[in-house]
Homo-oligomer: A and B are copies of this chain.
């Protein structure tokens, strides 16, 4: 297997062999998440029904699960897919959207954590609450800075033996031992709905490309998002014009630019 040592090398490898990524995501995110994967060069498949989610996980190269708009039936599909991915040795990513908000979500996430996600991506409030801390999240919005979630993320990564990514103004990624911060993005990004959910799907795409280096793949996905976000913000006059410019920027981003501009530092 070719060594893919930088975000740019991983992006290039992804485009050379577009991975099929099964995304179980919420209704708000489905369209933009699929467009994000296509723009980045991956092949999205939104397959969630209990009747086929497990079977499909055997075909896909990675799986992502987001609990944004949950129901009992979808939980069945999520669990079937997570089990199938794990037993096939394929990476899967959990996005525990607003899991602290209701008992239904808390239970669903506890059950999914027991199925051992490869990566967990959330905002600071979500990661703090997952680690048992007191978060100030309101609805789906984080009200805590990423910095405050770093300890929680390290604890969670160790306990779950997973890579944990906390995204916000400055992102934080850890596998319990290593940890980095990633700068970039734009203040317009939280004004566009479901970009975080889309990033979860992109982490799945990079994890499919570099399953031997899940930490590096997660860092690569977040760096890609950060640089495309900076680029898109240049010409944007608001969240509407940012949104389509972001897709253009993702599609136009090449390996060299990504490696030259990514701002990743040890934490």
- For A, the interface residue count at a CB cutoff of 8 angstroms equals 61
Bound Cα distance A140, B45 (Å) = 6
A53 to B, closest residue via Cβ: B102
Bound Cα distance A129, B139 (Å) = 35
Q: Give chain B residues whose Cβ lies under 8 Å from the Cβ of A39.
A: 191, 238-240
Q: Give chain B residues whose Cβ lies under 8 Å from the Cβ of A48.
A: 69
A49 to B, closest residue via Cβ: B71
Give the number of copies in the complex.
3
A27-B27, A27-B30, A68-B46 given as contacts; is B240 within 8 A of A102 (CB)? no
Please state if B241 and A31 are interface contacts (CB–CB under 8 Å): no
Which residues of A, 49-84, contact B by the 8 Å Cβ criterion? 49, 51-52, 55-56, 59-60, 68-73
Q: Give chain B residues whose Cβ lies under 8 Å from the Cβ of A46.
A: 26-28, 68-69
Bound Cα distance A191, B103 (Å) = 39
Q: Give chain B residues whose Cβ lies under 8 Å from the Cβ of A240.
A: 35, 39, 243-248, 251
CB of A138 within 8 A of chain B?
A: yes
CB of A168 within 8 A of chain B?
A: no
A251 to B, closest residue via Cβ: B238
A190 to B, closest residue via Cβ: B38
25 A–B contacts from the bound complex (CB under 8 Å): A20-B138, A28-B30, A28-B46, A31-B194, A34-B194, A35-B192, A35-B243, A43-B140, A44-B139, A44-B140, A45-B101, A45-B140, A49-B72, A49-B104, A52-B103, A52-B105, A55-B104, A56-B102, A191-B251, A238-B247, A238-B250, A238-B252, A239-B248, A241-B248, A243-B247
